[in-house]
A and B are shown apart, each in its own frame.
Chain A
Amino acid sequence: MTDTLTPVLTDNWDAERAWTMAAYEERGGYAALDKAFAMGPDAVITAVKDSGLRGRGGAGFPTGMKWGFIPQDNPRPKYLVVNADESEPGTCKDIPLMMATPHTLVEGVIVSSYAIRANTAFIYVRGEVLHVVRRLQRAVQEAYLAGHLGKNIHGSGYDLDLIVHAGAGAYICGEETALLEGLEGRRGQPRLRPPFPAVAGLYASPTVINNVESIASVPAILTEGAAWFASMGTEKSQGHGIFSLSGHITRPGQYEAPLGITLRQLIDLAGGMREGHELKFWTPGGSSTPLLTPEHLDVPLDFESVGAAGSMLGTRALQLFDETTCVVRAVLRWTEFYKHESCGKCTPCREGTWWLTQTLARLEKGQGTEEDLDLLLDQCDNILGRSFCALGDGATSPISSSIQHFRDEYLAHLTHGGCPFDPAASTAFVPAGADA
């Protein structure tokens, strides 16, 4: 019987100076390297396939299968690129992981690079997290000094260089091909696929791009075994994952659990919604995943079940909003975000996000008409599935789902002549005695 919470990646976050090599090695760190070298690269790929690990960056693509797509007969160098550009609104798991235990990620990078036969790897970390960059730089430096990186690692004959690369502020660089553009020193705009990065990625060479949490999950899969990993979770969504609770909840934070835990269980663990309030709407996996409501509290948080409920598991970024929150204000703000972050490459997203913002802003001020709701849905229809990448699709998620669940609240703005909510009531520092 699996425990309710299963700390693996978070297990050493309460250790003294956990970010140091000394603390990491004291807990058996870097043991996965010799294990991998003894198994050989193909067996490592097989183990990751057998574990059932699916990408933890949102899309849920099987990690081992992705590695298997690297054409080993291609004479060009192979590359591993870690997507550490965590920027999806609500998502806040990779940053604390890299802050607390950067060596877990570095160890995962070494094993994963070995599996795909890469001799150069990169961690593309967003630039807006200075102390995380410091801890990564230090961890890589320590790993070189300890002989876990560089030439002939542990006498295996395997060489690996790892470069920490700080981005410069662009949500779109979380999209893997835009990330590669950024890493090549260009504007971060997505590339047409095919060719997929596995065939022609960084420098037109075979490249694997994986999320931080995916790569950090690899060392334990090797040391504990694929069957151990697969014993957690649900049939098609196996293993542990970090669930990030934020918003109007008593104890926001990181909760590492088997996939398939429900929001009801997580809210109970986190001490309930803030006192005297109730859940109104939530995102299961960041702002690009359609909003859900209290009727979805018992949906197992795995890829299949959340999909069947009309949303996506995404990054398990559970943003919880109580009844003091205006859904129209929330959605307008997300839409402004997508407008700001649209890279400009394709017309539906570049132009569409501006139109969405204008229409929504009018509604929020109570100046539109009911027909504007149909106009919004029509605009969404012209963006979803017609954009170059998933950013445009994601921009439509909060809009169409909020109209589906909260149409009356949009209309209330029209009858009220503006927003009927008091924004002060939803803050974390509601003044005492305020009606919140």
Chain B
Amino acid sequence: MSHPTNGLDEKTWGELREIAARYPEARSGLLPMLHLVQSVEGRVTPEGIEACAEVLGISAAEVNGVATFYTMYKRKPVGDYHVGVCTNTLCAVMGGDLIFERLKEHLDVGNDETSEDGKITLEHIECNAACDYAPVMMVNWEFMDNQTPESAVQAIDDLRAGNPVHSTRGPQLCTWREAERVLAGFPDDRADEGPTAGPASLAGLKIARDNGWTAGTASSKGENA
């Protein structure tokens, strides 16, 4: 099939079409398609926008309108690791503000900027639904729970030095581009890494177990289904 050759390889064109074909209406694929563009290009590029537009039969302006609406899409190159520090109220109060300040200083960058070595892009983020683990940092959208300024600096230094770093509730951290590929709907077969739940997720369940409290279901009464 002919299309403007613009830097995206055949495999990517094929995968963009594959995403569009997952949905009853192709345009529904646009969000994951833009995730795929980021995984290949390191950001949303004009070439990526043109490709999405062509696959979906819509204008580049329409794709651009979508790409500029959602905060996960980046116009500037992102480092190997996207580091997001939650500074929404609860995390900010619990220490997120201090962590963010410390990392800005440590990396000598401002918000939404990338360290000189190209490894770390730092951003303050909104609530990431892990308030019981506050203050929270996300690296490539993996949870780094219960951070302190020191633990955050340590994680970032390890990442820059190439040492393996694990999410507190997930696998060893992959790169931002690899993460974007999973979000585009191409699994990386790492679902089995990491725990079922972190300690805070189990706080209530543990108390229920200790007290013998149940919801009176058949299975909790020992009448296994």
Q: Which residues of A contact B (CB under 8 A)?
A: 2-8, 10-11, 13-20, 27-28, 31, 77, 86-92, 94-96, 99-101, 120, 126-131, 133-135, 137-138, 141, 163-171, 182-188, 203, 220, 223-224, 228, 231-232, 240, 243-248, 251-257, 269-270, 287, 317, 319, 321, 325, 329-331, 333-334, 337, 340-341, 343, 423-424, 426-429
The reply to whether the CB of B13 lies closer than 8 angstroms to some CB of chain A is: no
Residue pair B208, A3 in contact (C-beta under 8 Å)? yes
Residues of A within 8 A of B196 (CB): 13-19, 99-101
- Of chain B, the residue at the smallest CB distance from A173 is B70
Query: Interface code B172-216, partner A: CB below 8 Å = 1, 0 otherwise?
Result: 000000010011110110111010111111111111110101111
A300 to B134, CA, bound (A): 26
Known contacts: A130-B140, A131-B169. The answer to whether A13 contacts B201 by CB under 8 A is yes
Residue pair A5, B213 in contact (C-beta under 8 Å)? yes
Interface centre among B192, B194, B196 (most CB of A within 10 A): B196
The reply to whether the CB of B92 lies closer than 8 angstroms to some CB of chain A is: yes
Residue pair B171, A5 in contact (C-beta under 8 Å)? no
Q: Which of A187, A340, A427 contacts B126 (CB 8 A)?
A: A340
- Of chain A, the residue at the smallest CB distance from B179 is A130
Q: Which of B128, B146, B191 contacts A428 (CB 8 A)?
A: B146
What's the minimum C-beta distance from A115 to chain B, rounded to whole angstroms?
20
Q: Which of B22, B73, B132 contacts A244 (CB 8 A)?
A: B132
A14 to B206, CA, bound (A): 9
A168 to B187, CA, bound (A): 17
5 other A-B residue contacts (CB within 8 Å) besides A100-B201, A128-B84, A186-B66? A3-B215, A14-B209, A90-B90, A127-B35, A426-B94
Residue pair A6, B31 in contact (C-beta under 8 Å)? no
Residue pair A168, B34 in contact (C-beta under 8 Å)? yes
24 A-B pairs (CB sep. < 8 Å): A4-B213, A11-B219, A17-B196, A19-B191, A31-B225, A87-B126, A92-B129, A101-B196, A128-B138, A130-B141, A130-B182, A137-B191, A166-B184, A168-B73, A185-B28, A187-B69, A251-B203, A252-B200, A269-B204, A287-B88, A333-B92, A423-B93, A428-B135, A429-B149
Residues of A within 8 A of B125 (CB): 128
Residue pair B27, A7 in contact (C-beta under 8 Å)? no
The reply to whether the CB of B79 lies closer than 8 angstroms to some CB of chain A is: no
A3 to B225, CA, bound (A): 21
Residue pair B88, A185 in contact (C-beta under 8 Å)? no
Q: Which of B28, B191, B198, B215 contacts A134 (CB 8 A)?
A: B191
What's the minimum C-beta distance from B204 to chain A, rounded to whole angstroms?
3
Residue pair B66, A317 in contact (C-beta under 8 Å)? no
Residues of A within 8 A of B66 (CB): 185-187
Q: Enumerate the 5 nearest inter-chain pairs by beta-carbon distance, A residue then B residue, closest first.
A: A253-B203, A28-B225, A255-B204, A185-B30, A168-B70
Tally of B interface residues using CB under 8 Å: 90
What's the minimum C-beta distance from B139 to chain A, rounded to whole angstroms?
10
Residue pair B182, A254 in contact (C-beta under 8 Å)? no
Known contacts: A120-B24, A254-B200. The answer to whether A88 contacts B127 by CB under 8 A is yes
The reply to whether the CB of B65 lies closer than 8 angstroms to some CB of chain A is: yes
Residue pair A330, B89 in contact (C-beta under 8 Å)? yes
Residue pair A185, B24 in contact (C-beta under 8 Å)? no
The reply to whether the CB of B142 lies closer than 8 angstroms to some CB of chain A is: yes
The reply to whether the CB of B10 lies closer than 8 angstroms to some CB of chain A is: no
A165 to B167, CA, bound (A): 23
The reply to whether the CB of B25 lies closer than 8 angstroms to some CB of chain A is: yes
Residues of A within 8 A of B90 (CB): 89-90, 246-247, 319, 321
What's the minimum C-beta distance from A56 to chain B, rounded to whole angstroms?
14
Which residues 14-49 in B have Cβ within 8 Å of A in the complex?
22-25, 27-32, 34-35
The reply to whether the CB of B71 lies closer than 8 angstroms to some CB of chain A is: yes
Residue pair B203, A89 in contact (C-beta under 8 Å)? no
What's the minimum C-beta distance from B179 to chain A, rounded to whole angstroms?
5
- Of chain B, the residue at the smallest CB distance from A28 is B225
Known contacts: A17-B196, A319-B131. The answer to whether A96 contacts B201 by CB under 8 A is yes
A163 to B22, CA, bound (A): 8
Residue pair B32, A166 in contact (C-beta under 8 Å)? yes
What's the minimum C-beta distance from A332 to chain B, rounded to whole angstroms?
9
Residue pair A165, B32 in contact (C-beta under 8 Å)? yes
The reply to whether the CB of B220 lies closer than 8 angstroms to some CB of chain A is: yes
Residue pair B167, A131 in contact (C-beta under 8 Å)? yes
Which residues 55-98 in B have Cβ within 8 Å of A in the complex?
56, 65-66, 69-73, 84, 87-90, 92-95, 97-98
- Of chain A, the residue at the smallest CB distance from B38 is A168
Residue pair B200, A426 in contact (C-beta under 8 Å)? no
What's the minimum C-beta distance from B39 to chain A, rounded to whole angstroms?
12
Known contacts: A134-B190, A253-B201, A270-B203. The answer to whether A185 contacts B128 by CB under 8 A is no
Residues of A within 8 A of B98 (CB): 423-424, 427
Residues of A within 8 A of B220 (CB): 7, 11
The reply to whether the CB of B148 lies closer than 8 angstroms to some CB of chain A is: yes
A101 to B204, CA, bound (A): 16
Residue pair B198, A89 in contact (C-beta under 8 Å)? no
What's the minimum C-beta distance from B210 to chain A, rounded to whole angstroms?
10
Residue pair B141, A333 in contact (C-beta under 8 Å)? no
What's the minimum C-beta distance from A4 to chain B, rounded to whole angstroms?
6
Query: Interface code B133-171, partner A: CB below 8 Å = 1, 0 otherwise?
Result: 111001011110010110000000000000000010111
A235 to B188, CA, bound (A): 47
- Of chain B, the residue at the smallest CB distance from A325 is B93
The reply to whether the CB of B130 lies closer than 8 angstroms to some CB of chain A is: yes
A317 to B89, CA, bound (A): 13
A186 to B66, CA, bound (A): 6
The reply to whether the CB of B1 lies closer than 8 angstroms to some CB of chain A is: no
Interface centre among B34, B208, B209 (most CB of A within 10 A): B208
Residues of B within 8 A of A138 (CB): 187, 191-192
Q: Which of A27, A94, A331, A429 contacts B95 (CB 8 A)?
A: A429
Residues of B within 8 A of A331 (CB): 89
Residues of A within 8 A of B143 (CB): 129, 131
